[in-house]
Chain A
Amino acid sequence: DIQMTQSPSSLSASVGDRVTITCRASQDIDYFLNWYQQKPGKAPKLLVSDASNLETGVPSRFSGSGSGTDFTFTISSLQPEDIATYYCQQYDNLPWTFGQGTKVEVK
């Protein structure tokens, strides 16, 4: 199985701050990476697919980049409604696997 290592596991930032989350794959997954946002009690919501493709309706402050083994997810200006846990997921090889998650909180 491909292991996805996500960091940090949690972070606290102020409204307006730039937030960056990283995800590293245990082997080359090309660009086959999704980023999800999960709010408490809700199902995960797909924000970014194919490493950098922003889903329709997702605010432009969210972005993703990277390929191969190293990926980055960025919130350019943190908003109060962005409080959530974010997960990366590789879909290059079955079984698809998730990172451990990054809990984002507001200071």
Chain B
Amino acid sequence: QVQLQESGPGLVKPSQTLSLTCTVSGGSISSGNYYWSWIRQHPEKGLEWIGCIYNSGSTYYNPSLESRVTISVDTSKNQFSLKLSSVTAADTAVYYCAREPELWGQGTLVTVSS
């Protein structure tokens, strides 16, 4: 069955760019009309929807993060990625990739600290 797995650095310095990749296995990222999303969860807090990529390239970002977020897809690698620029400690969170709504990765903790 289709599975998602996040990967990327667990520690990012302030002002740098956070980069995460979600690898999709068991199915093609190009098949179907799905929304491939990134969601984050600050420690002991609720869920924050970051953005998504769909229709093989269209994107939509949460307006609160839009100026710093880029989501892209690499169909040859069956992956999609998140870049969040100019990070601060407030971006410390568990980041999830998902094929919304029913398939989620296990999540990866990213800490922003010098």
Tell me the complex Cα distance, A44–B100, Å.
Answer: 11
B20-28, B70-78, B103-111: which lies at the interface: B103-111
Tell me the complex Cα distance, A55–B46, Å.
Answer: 22
| B residues contacting the other copy or chain, number (CB 8 A) | 20
B49's partner among A45, A49, A55, A95 (CB-CB below 8 A) is: A95
For A74-107 the 0/1 string (1 means CB < 8 A from B) is 0000000000000101010011111111000000
**What bracket does the count of chain A residues touching chain B fall in?**
20 to 34
Quick one: given A98-B48, A98-B49, A100-B46, are A34 and B63 in contact (CB under 8 Å)?
Answer: no
| Contact yes or no, B104 A98, CB < 8 A | no
Chain B interface mostly helix, strand, loop or mixed?
A: strand
| Contact yes or no, A34 B101, CB < 8 A | yes
| Contact yes or no, B51 A46, CB < 8 A | no
Q: Which residues on A sit within 8 Å (CB–CB) of B46?
A: 87, 98-101
A–B Cβ pairs within 8 angstroms, 22 of them: A36-B101, A43-B105, A43-B106, A43-B107, A44-B104, A45-B104, A55-B102, A87-B46, A89-B101, A91-B100, A91-B101, A94-B52, A94-B60, A95-B49, A95-B61, A95-B62, A95-B63, A96-B100, A97-B49, A98-B46, A98-B47, A98-B49
Q: Give the A-binding residues of B (Cβ under 8 A).
A: 37, 46-49, 51-52, 60-63, 96, 98, 100-102, 104-107
Q: Give the B-binding residues of A (Cβ under 8 A).
A: 1, 34, 36, 42-46, 49, 55, 87, 89, 91, 94-101
